[in-house]
């Protein structure tokens, strides 16, 4: 395999049961094998993507002093600006060579949440920044819910099993800026090898290459979607819930060749999290004699906190 498999959401949303099942089988087997697919015909339009990239480039070009005003310590990186090198991959000390922003959920009025999400941080220098970010957030959430419906069928659950957990969930949209590399990095890369924390991650095509996925045989392959496709991968929460049936594959953003060091890279992943009270207990359908239960019971909120401590965004209470 030289690239990740490609699937078409139009198959799943069609009225043809055979096309729908074809999508379910294709995405399910891809997630058992490599944990990544590229998806065409999602709910984001090209104009919205282009506008969002314009807005985030404008933000990251603001003076450092202004950006720092939006880094609010008590939010623990859950909203607003996170400065260069602050986050690191689990198990690594070197900070990743990136700065980023977090847009969070703006829940429906009737969401009946058991927790209160932090408010989104408003950027006063850019009129369309927050509005564009939230519009993209909603379209990615909608796309993610359809992908989770297909996976619910594949696992043998009711098609809408994930809807109540994922809608109004604690998802994060993260525009990332990887600045030009100005000197030999000492053990640091743009994003160290890691698995994602959440249920699934939806990634818009980045402005430059670099995303690599670890195959079962230990080799790395480049994830190269078509221009109009999203890259969507399984996160640790879904791997845990399915007792390792669906794979949260290790991936990284490699540093470019030296002759490309002066080029920045922009990337916009959407980390789809459920509501915090969702149980991540291994599903009965995924446990048998050959596949004994691999994880203790935990909620999504507890698991998220544990992982945020491990990657350096939350300080552990001593």
Nearest to 144 by CA among 196, 96, 181, 94: 196
Strands of the chain (E only): list them.
6-8, 36-40, 80-82, 99-104, 172-173, 176-178, 191-194, 200-204, 211-214, 220-222, 230-234, 251-253, 265-272
CB atoms within 10 A of CB 246: 26
Tell me, what's the pLDDT at 207?
42
Query: Which residues of the chain are under the pLDDT cut of 50?
Result: 1, 88-89, 92, 188-190, 207-208
Task: Report which DSSP code applies to 126.
Answer: -
Burial class of residue 93 in the structure, from the number of CB atoms within 10 Å of its CB (0-12 exposed, 13-18 middle, 19+ buried): exposed
Long-range pairs of 108-112 with CB within 8 A, sequence gap ≥ 24? 108/167, 108/168, 111/168
Tell me, what's the pLDDT at 92?
47
The vertex-9 CA angle with 6 and 12, nearest 5°, equals 120
Tell me, what's the pLDDT at 217?
80
Tell me, what's the pLDDT at 205?
65
Strand partners, 270: 173, 202
Average pLDDT, the chain: 87
Within 8 A by CB and 6+ apart from 220, the residues are 212, 213, 214, 252, 254
Contact 205, 269 (CB under 8 A): no
Tell me, what's the pLDDT at 284?
96
Burial class of residue 54 in the structure, from the number of CB atoms within 10 Å of its CB (0-12 exposed, 13-18 middle, 19+ buried): middle
What ranges in the chain are assigned the alpha helix state H?
9-13, 17-33, 46-60, 64-68, 129-155, 163-166, 236-241, 300-310
Within 8 A by CB and 6+ apart from 36, the residues are 4, 5, 30, 213, 223, 231, 232, 233, 234, 249, 251
Tallying the residues shown for the chain, one arrives at 318
Q: Where are the domains of the chain?
A: 6-310
Query: What CA–CA distance (Å, rounded) separates 298 from 271?
Result: 19
End-to-end CA distance of the chain: 46
Tell me the fold of 6-310: Jelly Rolls (2.60.120)
Read off the pTM: 0.88
Tell me, what's the pLDDT at 41?
94
């Amino acid at each position: 395999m030289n690239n990740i498999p490609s699937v078409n959401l139009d198959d799943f949303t069609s009225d043809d049961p055979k096309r729908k099942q074809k999508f379910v089988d294709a995405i399910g087997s891809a997630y058992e094998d490599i944990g990544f697919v590229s998806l065409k015909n999602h709910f984001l339009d090209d104009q919205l993507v282009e506008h969002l990239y314009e807005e985030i480039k404008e933000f990251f070009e603001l003076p450092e002093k202004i950006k720092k005003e939006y880094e609010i310590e008590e939010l623990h990186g859950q909203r607003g600006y996170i400065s260069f090198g602050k986050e690191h991959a689990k198990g690594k000390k070197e900070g990743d060579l990136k700065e980023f922003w977090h847009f969070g959920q703006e829940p429906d009025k009737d969401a009946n949440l058991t927790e209160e999400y932090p408010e989104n941080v408003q950027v006063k220098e850019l009129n369309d920044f927050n509005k564009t970010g939230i519009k993209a957030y909603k379209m990615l959430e909608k796309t993610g819910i359809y992908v989770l419906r297909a996976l619910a069928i594949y696992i043998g659950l009711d098609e809408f099993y994930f809807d109540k957990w994922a809608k109004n969930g604690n998802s994060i949209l993260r525009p990332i800026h990887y600045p030009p590399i100005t000197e030999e990095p000492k053990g640091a890369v743009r994003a160290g090898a890691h698995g994602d924390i959440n249920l699934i991650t939806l990634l818009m095509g980045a402005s430059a290459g670099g995303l690599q996925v670890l195959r079962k045989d230990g080799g790395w392959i480049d994830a190269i979607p078509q221009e109009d496709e999203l890259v969507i991968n399984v996160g640790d929460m879904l791997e845990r819930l399915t007792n390792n049936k669906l794979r949260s594959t290790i991936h990284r953003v490699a540093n470019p060749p030296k002759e490309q060091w002066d080029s920045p890279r922009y990337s916009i992943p959407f980390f789809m999290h459920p509501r915090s009270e969702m149980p991540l207990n291994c599903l009965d359908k995924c446990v048998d004699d050959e596949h004994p239960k691999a994880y203790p019971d935990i909620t999504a909120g507890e698991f998220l906190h544990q992982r945020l401590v491990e990657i350096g965004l939350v300080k552990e209470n001593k």
